[in-house]
Amino acid sequence: MTPNQTLNGRYRVISSLGEGGMSDVYLSRDLILKRDVAVKLIRFDLQNDDKTIQRFQREALATTEIVHPNIVSVYDVGEDNGIHYLVMEYIDGTDLKQYIKDHFPIPYQKVIDIMEQILSGVAAAHAHGIIHRDLKPQNVLMDKNGSAKISDFGVAVAQQDQTITQTNAVVGSVHYLSPEQARGHLATKRSDIYSLGIILYEMLTGRVPFEGENAVSIAIKHSQNQIPLVRDFDPRIPQALENVILKATAKNPFDRYASATEMANDLKTSLSPSRADEPRFVTQSSNDQTIIAKASHFGPTAIKDVAEVKAISQPNNEKKSTSTVTKKRRNRHPLRKKIAIFLGLLTLFIVGIAVAFYLSFPKVVSIPDVSGMTQNEATAVLKKKNLKVGQITRTGNQKVDYKRVIETLPKSKKQVQAGVAVNIVISQGPNSYVVENYIGNSYTQVAKKLRAKGFKIKKTKVQTMQFDHGKIIYQSVVPDQVVVPRATTIRFSVTE
């Protein structure tokens, strides 16, 4: 994008604010609301990458419903000539990473004040069922008044949308990654708590706790090594404040704070004189590891047991007297019975596993194409496919009529499990629209066209012999004026 270039006739680019691996951000001017905004664009070389577009749309969905002073607001999402963009609140300042470099050492009370703001924003996201999964200082913006705002929900996920298929995917920045994420397990709210503990560590020491030659070595340290003590770096740090870090970064998620609010409440009193003699925090869970047996472990054991039982019951080839043979046969019957019982139980066990696997195997359905339908029509079609309706997001669109479905997330024709929630994006009509000259045209046709764009239409009947019946002789909005359809009412005078 170049300066003065305009998206959808509304957002005029002023200058570049930064470039990332997935997107570029520009300071822009909202020509309708007369305010500065930050516009995030998918990089040109990734415009056709489905995964990047899904992450982009996920960021919009994750933050649209959350209104909080410590979370960057998303105002609009759209597409212009194949360019996907997000319109966000513009923060005139820097990110927390740079803030730490510029202001270190930061006074303890200031550290606590900033962390309480971040925790408040995270608590709001968690209350909406959103797990950020990539909390780090680079994703916390600091304005010139010292207020913190969380950004970049591109890898965030609704807690109810997580499935077992995600367990092998490591998501997040490695320096702030929780042990369970490093192992490829599902991220939870307590995973965000771990990342917050690392952020607090960096604010107090000016560095991250673990470094390494590569991402894998750092992830292993997060998984296995104890977090270095901040009091070894600065003995003046109160033990109670260090304890907040130790509890937040416990290896076992259940030893951490249960919520961001709980962590904030503990942090708030960490400088209190009443906690001056507080002992160092020690986790309550044991170090014993639980070994989970795999189904394959049962095979060799069962075979060995059967082999041993068969060996015991094999007949002796030596000649025996009739009485001895009779006695042995009598003794073999209980063994045969035990073998039969054992094999029967083993068969039932295998059949039971097979049945359980079959019953638990999810049914796969294809997401139907509901674009162009109303919300009610789309909901009915999705329910027939045994799919749930997820979040409803409304955005401006130059091509899709007002209150009609633009697309679904995941997209149509994608194979998903039955029962999955499908998010729907509804058109609010064009973000901006150039009003034409409708005088002399048929009111019925014009009104139908404009209502489909989102306009409100008012009609006043006028008696005159100069025009044919049903023709427009006056319009309240002058031609060539640029307006927002869903916020505009056009009044027509129509001949009887």
pLDDT of residue 49: 74
- Tokens representing residue 78 in the block: 């759209």
Q: What CATH number is attached to the domain comprising 381?
A: 3.30.10.20
DSSP type of residue 246: H
308 and 414 housed in the same domain: no
Mean pLDDT of the chain: 81
User: What is the percentage of the chain residues whose pLDDT exceeds 90?
Assistant: 40
pLDDT > 90? residue 264:
yes
226 vs 340 pLDDT, higher one: 226
Q: Coil, strand or helix: which one is 26?
A: strand
291 lies in a domain? no
Residue-wise DSSP of 427-443: E---SSEE----TTSBH
Are 130 and 264 within one domain? yes
Compare 410 and 200 and report the one with higher pLDDT.
200
Q: What percent of the chain has pLDDT over 70?
A: 82
Same domain, 269 and 146: yes
**For residues 405 and 392, what is the distance between their CA atoms, to the nearest angstrom?**
10
Residues 204 and 340 in one domain: no
Name the amino acid, one letter, at 160.
Q
Q: Which of 358, 424, 363 has the alpha carbon at shortest distance from 394? A: 424
pTM: 0.57
Q: Is the domain of 444 the same as that of 421?
A: no
Left, alpha or beta for 146 (phi > 0: left; psi -120 to 50: alpha)?
left
Tokens 């304890």: give the residue: 243
Q: Kindly name the residue from 134, 152, 192, 401 that is annotated as catalytic.
A: 134
Residues 185 and 78 reside in one and the same domain: no
Query: 329-345 as b/e, with b when 16 or more CB fall inside 10 Å?
Result: eeeeeeeeeebeeeeee
105 assigned to some structural domain: yes
* pLDDT for 427: 84
Asked whether the predicted pLDDT for residue 162 surpasses 50, the reply is no
What confidence tens digit (pLDDT) does each residue in 347-401 have? 887 877 766 655 555 577 889 999 999 999 999 999 998 888 888 887 777 788 8
Range in 41-45, 139-143, 372-376, 476-480 the model is least confident about = 41-45
Residues 374 and 389 in one domain: yes
pLDDT attached to residue 284: 74
Which backbone phi and psi does 480 adopt, to 5 degrees? Answer: 70, 5
pLDDT-based confidence at residue 246 (cuts at 50, 70, 90): very high
- pLDDT for 143 equals 92
Tell me: do 163 and 200 sit in the same domain.
yes
The mean per-residue pLDDT over the stretch 446-475 comes to 88
Q: What is the mean pLDDT of residues 159-166?
A: 38
Which residues have CB under 8 Å from 360's CB, separation 6+?
none
**Same domain, yes or no, for 246 and 269?**
yes
Residue 326 inside a domain? The answer is: no
- In the chain, how many H helices and how many E strands? 13, 21
Lowest mean pLDDT of 12-21, 280-289, 404-413, name the range: 280-289
List the domain range (segments joined by +) for residue 483: 436-495
- The residue out of 59, 89, 119 marking a domain boundary is 89
Q: What is the pLDDT of residue 358?
A: 59
Kindly state whether residues 37 and 135 are assigned to the same domain. Answer: no
pLDDT, tens digit (0-9, with 9 covering 90-100), for 177-219: 999 888 878 889 999 999 999 999 999 999 999 998 888 889 8
Rounded CA-CA distance 234/237 in Å is 6
pLDDT, position 59: 66
Specify the pLDDT at position 167.
35
Binding residues for ATP: 40
Task: Tell me the average pLDDT across 273-299.
Answer: 61
Instruction: Place 334 in a pLDDT band, splitting at 50, 70 and 90.
Output: low
| Whether residue 463 is found in the same domain as residue 401 | no
Q: What is the domain count for the chain? A: 5
pLDDT at 304: 35
CA distance 86 to 179: 32
CA-based radius of gyration for the chain: 33
448 occurs within a structural domain = yes
Query: Can you say which residues are annotated as belonging to the binding site?
Result: 40
Q: What angle do CA 56, 59, 61 make, to 5 degrees?
A: 110
Indicate whether 295 pLDDT > 60.
Answer: no
Concerning whether 134 is annotated as a catalytic residue, the answer is: yes
Domain containing residue 173: CATH number: 1.10.510.10
The 10s digit of each residue's pLDDT in 129-139 is 888 888 999 99
